[in-house]
């Protein structure tokens, strides 16, 4: 699994009870439905894009690549954002996923 950002690690280390509860909630949510892991992360990428959470978009893009998602599948999520969130938001998300897909530029 991708390493979490240092700030996230620091927060969780300082507040271990919150970290444990958060991890437990995450497991419960993932196990609550019929979606497979790749589909769950595609949905989570879409949610991150909609909430304009760049770091989460990076994290879910990395996780999707680890799960075998193709760049085309990931970019399709971005393209779907155009009609719901607008072109400027979709273009911002495009830059976020490309930060991971094309780290050299």
- Per-residue pLDDT at 2: 56
Tell me which fold the domain 35-105 belongs to: AhpD-like (1.20.1290)
Cβ atoms of 62 and 33 closer than 8 Å: no
- Residue 100: how many other CB atoms lie within 10 Å: 19
What are the boundaries of each domain within the chain?
1-33, 35-105
- Per-residue pLDDT at 11: 96
Instruction: Report DSSP state, residue 86.
Output: -
- Per-residue pLDDT at 1: 47
Tens of pLDDT along the chain (105 residues) come to 457 788 989 999 999 999 999 999 999 999 999 999 999 999 999 999 999 999 999 999 999 999 999 999 999 999 999 999 999 999 999 999 999 999 886
Cβ atoms of 56 and 44 closer than 8 Å: yes
Cβ atoms of 100 and 61 closer than 8 Å: yes
């Amino acid at each position: 699994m991708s390493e979490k950002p240092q700030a996230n690690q620091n927060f969780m280390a300082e507040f271990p009870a919150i970290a444990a509860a958060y991890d437990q909630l995450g497991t419960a949510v993932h196990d609550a439905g019929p979606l497979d892991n790749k589909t769950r992360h595609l949905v989570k990428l879409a949610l991150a894009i909609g909430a304009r959470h760049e770091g989460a978009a990076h994290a879910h893009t990395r996780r999707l690549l680890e799960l075998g998602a193709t760049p085309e599948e990931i970019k399709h999520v971005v393209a779907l954002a155009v009609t719901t969130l607008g072109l400027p938001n979709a273009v911002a998300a495009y830059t976020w996923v490309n930060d991971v897909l094309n780290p050299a530029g």
